[in-house]
Amino acid sequence: MPRSDITDLYRIDELLSDEEKAARDVVAAFVDREYLPKAGKYFRHGTFPLEVIPKLAELGVFGATLDGYGCAGMGNVSYGLILQELERGDSGLRSFASVQSSLCMYPIHAFGSDEQKERFLPGMAKGKLIGCFGLTEPDFGSDPGGMRTRARKDGDGWVLNGSKMWITNGSIADVAVVWAKTGEGGAESIRGYLVEKGMPGFTAREIEGKFSLRASFTSELAFQDVRVPARNVLPKVEGLNGPLSCLNHARAGIAFGAVGAAIACFEAAREYALSRVQFGKPIAAFQLTQAKLADMLQEIVKAQLLSLRLMRMKDQGKVSAAQVSLAKRNNVRVAMEIARSARSILGANGITDEYPAVRHMLNLESVYTYEGTHEVHTLILGRAITGIDAFS
């Protein structure tokens, strides 16, 4: 849906092609019609509605930017706008799409054999096969190069041992892209393995007790002597740059997605401020409320322009990791601030799931941490600015 005149103050709409607007609008209509009416319930009950998966597939959401194999072959701006609309629904909904598309289909498409692409991608595009991405481990989050998961060559295939933590879609996935070291040495030996549901020794367990991304599966994966055949090893990638290049793709989408959460919070706060009367006036008439709304809109416009420029550069194939980091870092932080500010405008009502602000506020805590924490992106930028690595 085109944004209201006030939310789209800088007429971003005029910078989009008809194709980009169409990609956005069908997903926006789907989210309005099918997700938002139940978003609070999904969050409250900690459930992800699996029934949305085939519907999203029909809209061309999965692997949207990939060519062939039943994927839509859209540009990155269209993909970003789709993620924006999904995250306007809920970060859990956007996470599902990000992981399926950017973190599972993308590495298979970029680094897989022809046979692997034929085997997995068409089913994933249709939402019939679900994927996940296992990089983080219990003891290695920001520093994935230290991972302990090991793959040992055994005859024709490999034997995998180790564990992965905080894996989105892990317990429902048919295929997991698992990153493991092949030797005892450094990150240069990291390779990607396609571990399939049901392989003996592979288990996935849901992580309980989350107060964030409740409408999303987040799992721990364990590998005990899992035999992975040679045909399930990604042949075209070795080293930490493999998983990190998938993250470039996903992080750019997250930068765009976070704008959707911010828009949802801003629109809810504005509507409430206009109708809620205190001291004989709508609270929107108070200067302090107007200042909050003005700050929100200003940051939304800036974040939208940043995301759009990022994706246009990505379409031209010339985006750098530092550019991606700046957008992820900025947009997620401002979305968090906007969610918090919207929550305050909503007063006591703002703490319930009748309104979206507190749900987005809690979800964005995860988004701030995953795909590189805010601090990691600060250090990536710091390294780009100074040439000095301050990670260790």
Interface positions with ligand FAD (CB under 6 A): 99, 132-136, 141-142, 166-168, 213, 218, 366, 369-370, 373, 375-376, 379, 391
Q: Which of 168, 232, 304, 323 binds ligand TGC (CB under 6 A)?
A: 168
Phi, psi of 105 (to 5 degrees): -65, -40
Q: What angle do CA 163, 180, 221 make, to 5 degrees?
A: 25
Cα–chain-centroid distance for residue 387?
29
Q: Which of 98, 219, 289, 341 binds ligand TGC (CB under 6 A)?
A: 98
Residue 380 engages ligand TGC in binding (rule: CB under 6 A): yes
d(CA 74, CA 76): 7
Q: Which of 15, 244, 285, 381 binds ligand TGC (CB under 6 A)?
A: 244
d(CA 351, CA 365): 16
Catalytic positions, written as ranges = 371
Length, in residues, of the chain: 392
Q: Which residue is nearest to ligand TGC (CB)?
A: 95
| Closer of 145 and 157 to ligand TGC (Cβ) | 145
Q: Are 357 and 265 within 8 A, CB to CB?
A: yes
Strand partners for 227: 159
**Minimum Å distance from CB 185 to ligand TGC?**
13
**Minimum Å distance from CB 315 to ligand FAD?**
25
**Minimum Å distance from CB 61 to ligand TGC?**
14
CA distances from 143 to 137, 138, 361 (A): 10, 11, 26
Strand ranges for 86-154 from DSSP E: 131-134, 150-154
* Dihedral over alpha carbons 8, 333, 326, 138 (to 10 degrees): -140
Q: Which H, E and C letters describe 64-83, residue by residue?
A: CCCCCCCCCCCCHHHHHHHH
Q: Which stretch binds ligand TGC (CB under 6 A): 66-74, 116-124, 258-266, 371-379?
A: 371-379
Neighbouring CB atoms inside 10 A of 153's CB total: 12
Q: Which does 203 bind (CB under 5 to 8 A by kind): ligand TGC, ligand FAD, none?
A: none
Residue located via tokens 């005859």: 155
Q: Which does 321 bind (CB under 5 to 8 A by kind): ligand TGC, ligand FAD, none?
A: ligand TGC
Q: Which of 57, 172, 240, 326 binds ligand TGC (CB under 6 A)?
A: 240
**Minimum Å distance from CB 87 to ligand FAD?**
14
Q: Which does 182 bind (CB under 5 to 8 A by kind): ligand TGC, ligand FAD, none?
A: none
d(CA 327, CA 31): 24
Residue 2 engages ligand TGC in binding (rule: CB under 6 A): no
Using CB under 6 A as the criterion, what x/- string covers residues 107-146 for binding ligand TGC? --------------------------x-xx-----x-xx-
User: Of the candidates 223, 213, 303, which has an alpha carbon nearest to the alpha carbon of residue 263?
Assistant: 303
Looking at residue 197, its amino acid is K
Q: Which does 274 bind (CB under 5 to 8 A by kind): ligand TGC, ligand FAD, none?
A: none
Q: Which positions lie near ligand TGC, rule CB under 6 A?
A: 95, 98-99, 133, 135-136, 142, 144-145, 168, 188, 239-241, 244-245, 247-248, 321, 370-372, 376, 380, 391
